[in-house]
Structures are given as structure tokens and as C-alpha cells.
Amino acid sequence: MENQHPPLNLHFIPFLAPGHLIPLCNIATQFAARGHRVTVITTSSYARILRKSSPSLLLHVVDFPGGEELMSAANDLESARNFFHASMLLRDPISRFLEQHRPDCVVADFFFHWVHDVANNLRIARLAFNGFSLFTVAAMESVKSNPALVPDSGPFVIPDLPHRITLCSRPPKGVSAFMERLLETEMKSDGLIVNSFAELDGEEYIQHYEKGKAHKAWHLGPACLAAKGGEERGEKRVVSEEECVSWLNSKQAKSVVYVCFGSMCRFPDKQLYEIACGLEEAAHNFVWVVPEKKGKEKESEEEKLKWLPKGFGQRNAEKGLIIRGWAPQLVILAHTAVGAFLTHCGWNSTLEAVTAGVPMLTWPVLGDQFYNERLVTEVRGVAVEVGATEWRETGYGEREKLVTGDCIQKAVRRLMDGGDEAREIRRRAQEFSDKAKQAVRDGGSSHNNLTALIAHLTRLRDTR
């Protein structure tokens, strides 16, 4: 039916962090694949990446006013704040472009909250994207709407959800206030694009979210299934896919723990030491991604890893592969040798693990990650907790609480040593992997949602 109408003209405005930009651009390619004209508004660094990984997308480049264009290059709170404030200065050049080249719809990351006013003034339809699961958005709204039922400290049950969901503590107040303002603006959009699939969030949470609202959520994921090899994560890798695959090929099926905490978490040396001890004590193979520290690039490999227990490298030469920097995560998770993923529960990593059918060991740090943990542990049963309870405002700096090596090795063994619980978790993980792949095929839930959304946007265009 959509082919009977002129193609839509869509502009996508992703936030300049890999965890936001990569999934939204993967979703943009789905619209382009249906024959619609899709322009991504971004900066020169990301445009170079997208020209290689997403040739079907048109690009409009705006100058970034703050120097370093990659948020993952921030290594402390001050540099992260500077990056965020600089990214907000993109309002003027992006607004001018929208005025001069009006699309039928603009799809903007909710961090760019000002797009709402610009689109409203220009009478352009607007869809929002926040990079969260719908479960997380629903849980955030329940916490916000029931302040009297949320204690200032200690664990509590999130009010008014379909499941009994317990959080370890209240989110940091500053972060909550900031997020609530963004979500309020998001609710004024013409709909929410969700990088997930309906079967994972669950019909009960879709109905819970949409109940009493003139606001629809469109599940179009997993976006990672649209990713191409080579530039999947948006930055230069320090190891090739071939090196990783060759190392993994030498290991037995489901014998490797993959450890990665995303682009925005920088653990202090004391915590890295505990992770090393836990992995060694668990006595399983591992691939461990440790981000490069800013300003330490010229140090020798020995200096960079001086926090490791003495003799760790020699003792684990056969068992372990440490990657200093970015890694081909989708390739690693898809390999049959990988049996578990120790993750910070960022939504992209969580969804990629679900899609690959890899059970998770959950270690949330900040933002939406503690909510995501609850979805995959308490609700869907495809993960086990390591025991992290320190909900931070940022991923930088020293910690008040260390997750000990003993906690880490116990969690690893709980999944990797076999047993009835581990087998059941693996069975459910495979079940959701099958559902994820089915969702994006012809007739699947996400495929049908995309068809319905295109029809909805076409009607909006034709009536405005």
C-alpha cells in the first residue's frame, strides 16, 4: 500500500554518542530500504562512518562547536558535560536546515528536546527516540508518578507495574529530574520509536504505557539486525574481526565469558583488579574489553595494565583475551564459543545479547541500566545479577562500593558451570533470540509496525 503514495521525506537527528546514533541510524536504514528519502543530520566524524556503513542514507553535515565530536572520548565528568553543552549548540544550524528543507517528519533523539518547538513552529510531524526499552520508560514514569511510595534510600517495589519489580535504590535525584523533563517533552511528540521488539517488552507493558495516552510506541527493533559489519559500533577498533574470530575458534562452544561495560563506563583500577581476580577464580575463558584511558595512549601495554594482579597475563595467556579499546561486539556475541556476557546493561548491549541468545551477567552502573537489569532478570529470566547496587550519576570516578572478585566469580560460575538453573536460562535466552529474529522478518511484529508507521506518517503528511 505504501508504494501507491509518493515516498516520505524523513530527517533523522541522532545524539552524538554511539549508543544513541548507531541504533537510530540502523532504524533509519529500514525506512530507506522501503524506498523513502532519509537524511541523517550529523557531524563530520560520524558522517565519515555512515558513508561506509549506511550508504543508503543521505547526510547533512553540521559543524560541531566543541572540538572533540565523540562522546566516548570523554574521560571524566567535566569533559562529558562540556561535550553535552557543545552538542546543544547544534540547535541553530539544524533549525536553519529544517526551515530550508522541510521534511514530512523529523525523528530526533530526546536529548535534543528543542526539536519539539522547531517542528511545532514548522508544522512538521515529530517522532521521538530515547534509546530505552519501553519497560524502562514505563518504570521511570511509575517512579515519577508515585513519589510518596518511593523511599529516599534502600530497595523498593516500583508502584503500579504489571510485575512486582524491585529496585535496589531510588535513582539519583539530579539525573531523575533531568530525565523526567526530557520524557515530558517526548510525550508531546507524534509517537515514540523503540529499539526493541514487542515480545521482549511484552504486550502488558505496551498496554500499560499507552493506557490513557494519545501517544503510541512503535517497536521497530532489534536495530542491531540491520547493522553491517566493519563499522558496527562507530569507532576504530584495536583488533580486527579476524583476530577475534580466530581466537574464539580455538575455544569450545559456550566456554567464553565476554566482558564489556560500554563506552561511558570507566572503572577505577581497584575495581578492574577485582574483575581480574573474579575472572581468574571462575577459571573460564574470557574476552575482556577495557576502554583506553584518555591521556594514556602512549604508555606501553605493560604500563596500561599495571593494575592487573601480578602474573595474571602469564597465568591466563591461553584462557584470556584483553582488548584495549573498541571491539567487534556483534561478531563476538554471535560466536558459538561465547556462553555469557558480563554487561553494564546499557540497552544496546542488552538487546544485542538477547538477539544473539547469550545469557547475561548484569552489572548496571547508571541511567536506565538498573531498570534494564530488572527486565532481563526478574521479568524475562535470561540473566543473573552480579550484585551491583551503586547507582551513579556518571560512569567516571572512584566508587563507594566495590563489586568483589568473589561476587564476580560466583555469578560467572552460576551461568557457566551448568546445572538446571543455567540450562533454563539458556533455553529462555534462545527462545527470545528466535523471537527477535522473527520480529524483523516479513509478517513479524517489528516489520508490521514499520509498515503501519509508514502508513501513519503518510496520512499525517497528506492531511497537513
Residues annotated catalytic, as ranges: 20, 109
**Prior bond of 65 cis (ω within 30°):** no
Which cell goes with 101? 528543507
Tell me which long-range contacts 17-21 makes (C-beta under 8 A, separation of at least 24).
Answer: 17/71, 17/72, 17/263, 17/264, 18/70, 18/71, 18/72, 18/233, 18/234, 18/235, 18/263, 19/131, 19/262, 19/263, 19/264, 19/346, 19/347, 19/348, 20/109, 20/111, 20/129, 20/131, 21/46, 21/234
Residues belonging to the chain: 464
What residue type is assigned to position 179 of the chain? M
Q: Report whether 396 contacts 177 (CB < 8 A).
A: no
* 3 state SS for 136-172: HHHHHHHHHHCHHHCCCCCCEECCCCCCCCEECCCCC
Greatest CA span in the chain, whole angstroms? 69
H/E stretch holding 218 reads: strand 217-219
Cα distance between residue 304 and residue 324, in whole Å: 9
Cα distance between residue 348 and residue 197, in whole Å: 13
Which cell goes with 336? 558459538
